[in-house]
Amino acid sequence: MDAFTIKLTDLEKGVENFDFYFEAEDINDISSDISNNKSNKTHVFINARKFDDSIYLEGRITGNIELICVRCLEKFNFKIDKNLQMFFMEEDFRPEDDEIELEKKDLSTFYYQDDVIKLKPHLLDIIALEIPQHSLCSEQCQGIDYDKGFGEENEQNDIDPRWQKLKNLKLNNP
C-alpha cells in the first residue's frame, strides 16, 4: 500500500500521528520552475482525529525545494512551511447537486472510498500551490546580463570554439 495512505481500520477514535516524506522524484514534476535536484525533499506531519463519520487532519508541510529563477535562470532554495487542515468524509456524503454554493469549509473538505484515505494527490496539490507562479531568487533580481551570459557553466571564457566567430560579429543597432 502507498506510503501516503491512511487505512481507517487502523485509525482508532482519538488522535493518531503520521509522518510522510516526499522524495525528489515526487516533487520535481510539480512545476517547470523546480530544478531537477535530488535534494528536493519535504516532510509532512499529520495529526488525524477520527469521528463517527469523518476524519479531521491537521498538520504541517515543511521542506526546501530548489527553484529556478524566471529572470536570471539561477537556482535558489525556496522554503515551504505550510499549516494544513483537511476534513475527510465518506463518498456517500458528497453533495449530489450539480450546483451548490460553496462555503469556506468546503474548500478543505475531501471524500474517501473503501475506508482508505489517499493523501498523496492532495498533499502534492498543497505543495504546488505554495510554489510562486513566477519564481524569483530575489525581488531585486536584474535578470540575465546578456553581455556576460548566464549560469556558471556558461561563462565567457568557456566559449565553444565552433561559436568563437560569432563573438566577433558586429551588429548594427538602430
E strands of 27-162, at which residues?
41-50, 54-68, 75-90, 109-112, 116-118
| Number of independent structural domains in the chain | 1
* 68 touches 34 (CB < 8 A): yes
Residue 174 lies in a domain: no
Measure the CA–CA gap between 125 and 122, rounded to whole angstroms: 5
115, 42, 33, 139: which is closest to 82 by C-alpha?
42
Q: What is the pLDDT of residues 5-35, one digit of tens each?
A: 888 777 776 678 888 888 888 887 777 777 7
Residue 167 lies in a domain: no
**Tell me, what's the pLDDT at 81?**
94
Q: What is the pLDDT of residues 46-73, one digit of tens each?
A: 998 888 778 889 999 999 888 989 888 8
Residue 34's Cβ-count burial label (10 Å; 0-12, 13-18, 19+) is buried
Enumerate the H helices of the chain as residue ranges.
Answer: 24-27, 120-130, 164-167
pTM of this prediction? 0.72
C-alpha cell at 25: 522524484
Residue 31 lies in a domain: yes
C-alpha cell at 72: 536570471
CA dihedral 147, 150, 156, 158 (to 10 degrees): -160
Q: Which residue is listed with cell 488522535?
A: 15
Q: Which residue is listed with cell 558586429?
A: 170
* 37 touches 75 (CB < 8 A): yes
Residue 63 lies in a domain: yes
Residue 159 lies in a domain: no
* Structural domain that includes position 104: 5-140
**Tell me, what's the pLDDT at 154?**
47
Q: What is the pLDDT of residues 83-122, one digit of tens each?
A: 999 988 887 777 777 667 766 666 678 888 888 888 888 8
C-alpha cell at 160: 565553444
Residue 164 lies in a domain: no
Residue 145 lies in a domain: no
* 97 touches 118 (CB < 8 A): no
- Please, how many CA atoms are within 13 Å of residue 46, restricted to the half-sphere of its CB? 23
Residue 155 lies in a domain: no
C-alpha cell at 144: 540575465
